[in-house]
Structure 1
Amino acid sequence: MCNEARRQVALGDIRTDWGQTRIPLVFPEGLPNLAATDSVRITDQTPIIRAAPDGAELAVRRWSWPGPSGKPVYNYRSERRDLRHGRCLIPVDGFYEFTDPADPAKKRKDKWLFTWPPHRWFCIAGLWRRDDAVGEAFTMLTTEPGPDIAPYHGRQVVLLGPEQWGSWLDDTIPSQRLIAPLPAGTLAVEQVG
Structure 2
Amino acid sequence: MQDLALGMPTNQTELDMPPADHIKVGDMAPVIRPAGDNIVELAQMKFGFPPIGKRGPVFNVRSQGRHFSDCHRCLVPASAFFEPTKKKDQKIKHRLTFVDATLMAIAAIWRPSRKGQPSAFAMLTTEPGSDVEPFHNRQLVVLRPRDWKAWIDLDKPEEELLRPLPGGSLKVETARGNGPIGKL
Bucket of the pairwise TM-score, normalised by the shorter protein: 0.7 to 0.9
Distance 1:34 1:169 in 2: 18
Moved more, 168-177 or 21-30: 21-30
| Structure 2 residue corresponding to 1:83, chosen from 68, 73, 76 | 68
Instruction: Tell me how far 1:175 sits from its aligned partner.
Output: 2.4
Q: Which runs of 5+ in 1 are unaligned?
A: 1-17
**2:21 partner SS:** strand
List aligned pairs for 1:34-183, cutoff 5 A: 34-54=17-37, 55-69=39-53, 70-84=55-69, 85-101=71-87, 104=88, 107-133=89-115, 134-183=117-166
Q: Which runs of 5+ in 2 are unaligned?
A: 176-180
TM-score normalised according to structure 1 size: 0.81
Instruction: Tell me how far 1:19 sits from its aligned partner.
Output: 1.9
Instruction: Tell me how far 1:40 sits from its aligned partner.
Output: 0.7
Instruction: Tell me how far 1:20 sits from its aligned partner.
Output: 1.0
Instruction: Tell me how far 1:30 sits from its aligned partner.
Output: 8.0
Distance 1:24 1:142 in 2: 27
**1:164 partner SS:** helix
TM-score normalised according to structure 2 size: 0.85
How many residues in Structure 1 have an aligned counterpart in Structure 2? Answer: 172
In the alignment, is the contact (CA less than 8 A) between 2:79 and 2:104 conserved in 1? yes
| Structure 2 residue corresponding to 1:189, chosen from 172, 176, 180 | 172
Instruction: Tell me how far 1:109 sits from its aligned partner.
Output: 1.4
Q: State the percentage of identical aligned residues.
A: 35
1:54-80 deviation line (CA, Å, top 9, x unaligned) = 221111111111132251010000001
**2:3 partner SS:** helix
Name the aligned partner's letter for residue 106 of structure 2.
Answer: I
Tell me the C-alpha RMSD between the 2 structures: 2.0
